Amino acid sequence: MKAKRATDKERRPQESYVRMHIIAKEIEQIEEQLRSVQRQTQDAEGTLAAIHELQRLSTAASTDEEVLLPVANGIYIQARAQHPLTLIMNMGRGVCIKQTPDQAHQLIQNHVKALEQTHHSLSEALQQRITQAHTLERDLRST
C-alpha cells in the first residue's frame, strides 16, 4: 500500500510536467495564430487605404493623375482610374465579382471586424493557457 502511494506521488509531478509541455506547445500555436491574424488585419487595412486612394484618383480623373499598380513583386504598371470606379474582387475558388469601392470597402471592413473578433478569442485562449501554466508551475513547486 505504501509503495502504491509513493508511485502516485512520483506520477503526479511527471503528469504535471507532461501537461506543462502540452500547454507550452498550445501557447506557441496560439501565438503563431495571433501573428497570422495581425498580418491579415494589416493587409486588409492596407487594402482599405488603397481603395480610398483609388476613389480619390477616380473622382479626380480629369486631372490625369496616374497610379502605379503592382503586377509582381517590384514590377508596376502606370494606370489611370476611370470614373465611376469598378473594382473586381476575388471571392475565392476562382470566383470574381464586380464591386463599387463602397461595396468593396464594406466587405473588407466586415473581414477586419471578423479578424478582430478572432484576435480577441485567441487572446482570451492564450491568457487561459498562461494561467493554467502558472497554476501547474505553482503546484509543481509546492510538491
Total structural domains within the chain:
1
d(CA 30, CA 45): 22
What domain range includes position 135?
A: 2-142
Note the pLDDT of residue 63: 58
Q: CB pairs under 8 A, 24+ apart, for 44-53? A: 44/108, 44/111, 44/112, 44/115, 45/112, 47/108, 48/105, 48/108, 48/109, 48/112, 51/87, 51/101, 51/104, 51/105, 51/108, 52/105
Each residue's pLDDT tens digit, 58-117: 776 555 677 777 788 889 888 877 777 889 999 899 999 999 999 999 999 999 999 999
Which set of grid coordinates corresponds to residue 21? 509541455
Reported confidence tier of residue 24, pLDDT bands at 50, 70, 90: very high
| H-only helix segments in 72-100 | none
Q: Does the pLDDT of residue 57 top 80, yes or no?
A: no
> What CATH number should be reported for the domain holding residue 129?
1.10.287.370
